[in-house]
Structure 1
Amino acid sequence: MVRHDEERPVTTGLITDSPVPEHWTHVLATLRANRFTRLSWDDVRTQAAGILIVSPTAEVASSCFATVLERGAENGFAEVVRPTELVPGHVPAGTWIFLPHRQDGWTELETTSARVRAGLVKENTARDRSDGLTLIEYGVNLWMWAEPPSTGGDPVCHAGELISWEAAWALDGPESPAAAPLSTADMTPAARPPIYFGLPDLLRRRRRDG
């Protein structure tokens, strides 16, 4: 699938109007059915010191992270910030930071996300490993154009950096059991469980140890 700037959907319209493609629900269900590509909420609470969701609008955050925000509201475990509000040096050690995908389909957001990520990478490099941050990307518009792994596709090759399905994982959600596919009817435009790119240490260990 080839993307062109003029074909990129407006994010607010996507959230309110566009259906989730069938291949996206299938990929999400497949990830949730495999222990190497699935984390439970208990896994996240055990591994992360907190969650920071970088989002351009409250609508994007609520559509993509409704479950995370509901479960993480206690004690401020999960918070939402706009890209302009994020100060890398102020982020506590061990935080998982969810950033909009740098090739997500919205030019302005891609540019902003790349800039924010560069600042976080620089901050991470300056920290001790034990004080580091986990950077994870999520799709806002990604389901509209990314090729599923069943066709041999990858989400993006960005500036020579391949962000592939091998780095993808999903969080278990209340929409269905992990092994059961999500039906398109169950996925309203206001509910957009994202697929994440960037492996937390727990998934890296699982894959290494088998």
Structure 2
Amino acid sequence: MFCDNIDWEKIPLLSKQNLTIRDLNRRLFLPQRDEAALAEIISAAGEVGKPRIIVFSPSISHAEKFADILSASGIPAKNISGVKRLDRQAALMEFSSGRIQALTAVDLLNEGIDVPDVNIIAFMRATHSRRIFVQQLGRGLRLAPDKPKTIVLDFVSDLRRISEVVSMNEEAKRSDPAPEAIYIKDGFVTFSDQKAETLAKEWIADVADLDANDSSKLVFPGI
């Protein structure tokens, strides 16, 4: 979870435009976070040897920009959101054949793509729907020869998202998992800082009876 250098004193002014949390996520561009995410993706690419990467972006403009910085960093990439259908199909064919190593998109890759070689998934878009999260995660869960694992990088600095992942991890570690869960004794999520997991668990306990969603309006006392 990366810290963002946001000037929070400006946010109350933005709230006068009746921005939702979703609006705010789409409007904030944080170059330092993108640079940090890029470094992690490059490191993961070196770990898997033959990287096949899918990046889920928060907006079309971000997807375009991030595809450019991936390509400039030596990882050939193309964005497939907000482009003509023929251009999208051409990019998907290049990705399937291995001519490019990465795709960026907003929602288009949730379903309808079958590239078993995908071995890196990078989340840069907040989504609080488990169904969408699992659909996007599933792009990297197909079995393929010479693919021992899939690396999942989650760059969404959102407690609700982190708490959802923690909850899924706890389900996996139960010896009597839910019907849609697979028993994994030690779980499948690791935190570089244990405090992040502890914070997420505390947050889950505090809001267990609340129905939080990203359509809530931003309201600041005294504004």
* TM-score under structure 2 length normalisation: 0.39
Q: Which has the higher helix share?
A: 1
Q: Which has the higher contact order (CA 8 A, sep 6+)?
A: 1
